Structure 1
């Protein structure tokens, strides 16, 4: 749970906004480097960040990237759940503790809960759905939509508080650490590191070494290799009331197959879009957008129609409560209160005798 370190912030001052934006560009950069770009000393930057983390206002998450699925080592599904009357909170609490559930929201529309679920492969996903989910008391029905390519996701979203020159300096630092490392098969140590980083994306190499049972130098090489191969994405998240984009809207739509590439290119260029993924289902495209208000949600859909005329939106839903996001647990207002480590490779509990 988050520590009680003073009143929960209801707004971010310009320094905190700049700090969050800097960490969105380079989530694991040293405080010395970030301080240099912001014009502050490292101690001040670290103190500011610790206060944001301890109040649940901001945090660094880390999750497997789309490249992992493309290399045959993971799959993503969007799951809709109908709950029995009066059982929604019980079901949500159980699912929030599940290591395969990356995101969980109470939403409007034709379902009660919407989940993002990651597993090693479709077979493991099937075992999780048929064993863990289907036997969960209070689940009345569930529908699973398997994701295809993910065209954009939340690690690319920015608060936009820094100047152009500051962004360029941080982006140059980040690009120097990128290489053309190809995707590789994860071993047990890599998997343990992914799980540990899902709890704290800024965890030091020494802390990771202690958790994962390996030397700091080995951990450093392994973590750097994971990021260099783009198999792991770290991102700085901020509590939704502090982002000025507090409303989340999900869209399900249909695009002619021949136009899908062009539509996804147009859609992913919209600032509000946090997720755009192809879906192998009755729909073939799923979007998640952050907007400023419920009124703005309708205005966004108008802009979406203008930008991608070939997209027919067939369903839409508003998140009433983000209960889990990137493995991190959130209260009703969107502040972080805990975390469930992600473990894509863990077999469903009910599948064991």
Structure 2
């Protein structure tokens, strides 16, 4: 990994924002929107990815869980003294653990787990996590509805005309319904999770299928929302370097309305209904620890029906959406995502 010094310049920021809108767009389309030569934007992107400063990943979309082909869980883990790094790295190596964070507050680690079904979550938590050396206790909270997630978060470096050019030139989104995933689909997911911009020919070689078949399957995964590509940026370079986690409570009959108000806040990257002692989880990127408190004040003013009952700050984002990060938030590698792995304990 190359050293990345300083901050993102204007072109870097514009490039990241463009790829947040169109993660798999060709360089000609990206360059046209930015008014820059395609070779230049490709070279810039290569520099950012080699430094671990930005990357494109891909993860299973919430629609999978909504249609019974997946289950999402948030697990709080307490570790024995001195064992947090060891446990965090062990969990980060699991293909179905898509996020691991060492956090402040009343738990040591927060992990996000995907599994094919509820029974697989139970089996993994009790047999695998419970037997992991260094783990003292774990508390599992199941996600009900994901109202927004990181693929919708934007750096906001482009102007309205540039955004319009990118969205207008986007291929039409088909009315594709969710379908039963095949072994090939799972293999495509795994490769896309490591590199969300990988081409169809490279995918075909790695997955042992023809390019035309791969193109059709990938397009279908994207059009149905079952696959969600997204461009990430190392948090220190985003101007929002602090990740704040809030747990809240709302009246059950007003939860959806509350969640919709929460997702309208610029800082929010995740808002999900939770079945547990709280019924809403929010992750927001803010500018500083002081701004974390100001954000909570703004949120209370914006959404008076939401009561924040607990909060934490990410101290080390060990893994984000399948990608491994160093203590400063830069990408160092990736573990291919495979939700089926949770059921193989």
After TM superposition, the score normalised by the length of structure 2 is 0.98
- Spell out the pairing of 1:75-94 with structure 2 (5 A cutoff): 75-94=71-90
Post-superposition offset of 1:348 = 4.9
Deviation at 1:9, TM superposition (A): 2.9
Residue matched to 1:280? 275
2:163 equivalent among 157, 164, 167: 167
In the alignment, is the contact (CA less than 8 A) between 1:9 and 1:55 conserved in 2?
no
Residue equivalent to 1:97: 93
8 Å contact kept, 2:121–2:342: no
* Secondary structure, counterpart of 1:185 in structure 2: coil
Q: Distance in 2 between matches of 1:93 and 1:270?
A: 32
- Contact kept? 2:18, 2:30, Cα under 8 Å: yes
Partner of 2:118: 122
Q: Secondary structure of 2:259's match?
A: helix
Question: Partner of 1:50: helix, strand, or coil?
Answer: helix
Range moving further from structure 2, 108-117 or 339-348: 339-348
1:140 to 119, 136, 142: 136
Asked if residue 45 in structure 1 is aligned to residue 41 in structure 2, the reply is: yes
Counterpart position of 1:28: 24
SS of 2:316's equivalent? strand
Displacement of 1:173 in angstroms is: 2.4
2:96–2:342 CA contact under 8 A, matched in 1:
no
1:250 maps onto 2:245 in alignment: yes
Q: Distance in 2 between matches of 1:22 and 1:232?
A: 19
1:344 deviation in Å? Answer: 0.2
Write out per-residue CA displacement over residues 265-315 of structure 1, whole angstroms, 9 at most, x where no aligned residue. 111000000000000111110000100000000000001101111111111
Corresponding residue for residue 311 of structure 2: 316
TM-score (norm 1): 0.96
Which residue of 200, 203, 206 maps to 1:205? 200
Correspondence for 2:10: 14
Are 1:56 and 2:52 counterparts? Answer: yes
Residues of 2 paired with 1:177 and 1:22: CA distance?
18
Q: Supply the RMSD in Å over aligned alpha carbons.
A: 0.9
Structure 2 residue aligned with 1:330: 325
Query: Is it true that 1:111 corresponds to 2:107 in the alignment?
Result: yes
- Cross-structure match for 2:65: 69
8 Å CA contact retained: 2:114, 2:342 = no
Give distance in 1, aligned partners of 2:342 and 2:60: 17
Q: How many residue pairs align between the two structures?
A: 345
For the pair 1:219 / 2:204, whether they are aligned, the reply is no
Contact between 1:10 and 1:241, CA under 8 Å: does it hold in 2? no
Give the SS at the match of 2:181. coil
Q: Deviations over 1:12-42 (max 9, x none)?
A: 1101110000000000000011111111111
